[in-house]
Amino acid sequence: MAKMMAALVEANTNTSEALVKLSAQKEPGGGRVHSTMRVQIPTDWPKYGDDGTYDGGPKRFYFHLENMFCLANDGAGLSWHERWIALGHSLKGKKKIPYSRVLNVLQKDSKSILDCAESAYDEVKQKHLRMQETDAHKSDRVLSQLELLKKGNMTASEFEPVFEDACDELEEVGMPRGFKEKKRGYPLKIENSRKVAILKDRRAYQDPAALGGFTTSGPETWEECHAILAGYEANETEVKAYREHNSFSMNPKGGKGRGDAKGGKKGKGGKKGGGKGKDGGAKSANGCKFMAKYGNCSRGDDCGFSHDPAALAAYKKDHPEYVQAWEHYSNEYKGDYKGAKGKKGKRKRKG
């Protein structure tokens, strides 16, 4: 063990020394030697337009855009000329009008973009910032968005960040929601069946003041409502997976009481559709328990199990307790049943 540890320490030391030497190497021109591997973060440039993501929020748009500028050229950033070009590609619709007007003025005055890129960029930015929506308009927009917000086809995990963003925007405009308002508002955004199930749910929650440290109650916060909803969806997904997984079925492709789809009619045991077994599939080689126990089977030739004497003998051998119990019951009560049946007759009419 000691030798193995010494070998690992030596290997790590050699690797560290090699990396230090590599980082100290210089190119013939004196520049730093770059790695042969290139790591690039996949990014999408923000768009600002009439139908863009940042419509009504130029501050957020320029915040994300200028963060993108800092990532360019191995973190060295973009020049002002490159920023000007990138800004033009990020503006759409009416939001590009200030950019086009500034560009037209520069061309009219025969000014070079290389020399005036910084001032032109700042001028367009200031014009966009003046388009910032007022606090009243933003408040109305946030309230209407929250009112129209519905879970719909989203899962609980997908709906959680959407609901949180809506609550955060209300806080930004000075209309924060308390935990009781959030708890009351969260169920209103989901379907009625789920809402009723959440409100009726009772489970143990931690309560230091209660005996044993737990108390049974309904949800008191929107986070607890969300946890209940996520649990219901997880259970439904699991049940659905079990229902769709039919590998344990003897006839996974057959239909109960129906034949093949081409038969056209409902048939017992798949007879009309050309099926061989009780579910329209192949007949099992196992013996029929009804034939083994009682000596008859109501399905007859349509039974999905074998009526072969050898298969029945094998079934009796594998299940002696069931067959012996039935034979004992049959022999004990057979005479009583026949005697009772013989005494039964027509009632004489008094006359």
Indicate the angle between helix axes 113-130 and 97-108, nearest 10 degrees: 150
Q: Which of 9-23, 194-208, 272-286, 295-309 comes out lowest in average pLDDT? A: 272-286
Q: Whole-model pTM?
A: 0.46
User: Which of the listed ranges 129-133, 215-219, 327-331 does the model predict with the highest average pLDDT?
Assistant: 215-219
Answer for the pair 104, 79: CB distance below 8 angstroms, yes or no. Answer: no
Which has more confidence, 297 or 335? 297
Burial, 84: exposed, middle or buried (Cβ in 10 Å; 0-12, 13-18, 19+)? buried
Instruction: Dump the DSSP string for 296-310.
Output: --TTGGG-SSB--HH
Helix residue spans in 174-248 (DSSP H): 179-188, 192-200, 222-244
Q: What is the pLDDT of residue 229?
A: 93
- 332-333-334-338 Cα dihedral, nearest 10 degrees: 140
d(CA 66, CA 46): 10
**pLDDT reading at 5 higher than 70:** no
Please state the domain extents for the chain: 58-131, 136-242, 272-333
User: Which residues, 6+ apart, have CB-to-CB distance to 54 below 8 Å?
Assistant: 46, 47, 48, 60, 61, 64
**pLDDT reading at 348 higher than 60:** no
End-to-end Cα separation, the chain, in angstroms: 112
φ/ψ (deg, to 5) at 191: -70, 160
What is the arithmetic mean of pLDDT over 191-195?
Answer: 89
**pLDDT reading at 208 higher than 90:** no
Task: Give 138-159 pLDDT, tens digit per residue.
Answer: 888 888 888 899 998 899 999 9
pLDDT band for 253, please (50, 70, 90 cuts). Answer: very low
Using a pLDDT cut of 70, give the percent of the chain over it: 69
Q: What is the pLDDT of residue 210?
A: 82
d(CA 259, CA 281): 9
**pLDDT reading at 346 higher than 70:** no
pLDDT band for 228, please (50, 70, 90 cuts). Answer: very high
What is the arithmetic mean of pLDDT over 289-300?
Answer: 81
Tell me, rounded to whole angstroms, the distance of Cα 81 from its chain centroid: 44
Q: What is the pLDDT of residue 330?
A: 57
Q: What is the pLDDT of residue 23?
A: 61
Instruction: Dump the DSSP string for 301-351.
Output: GG-SSB--HHHHHHHHHH-HHHHHHHHHHHHHHHHHHHHHHHH--PPPPP-
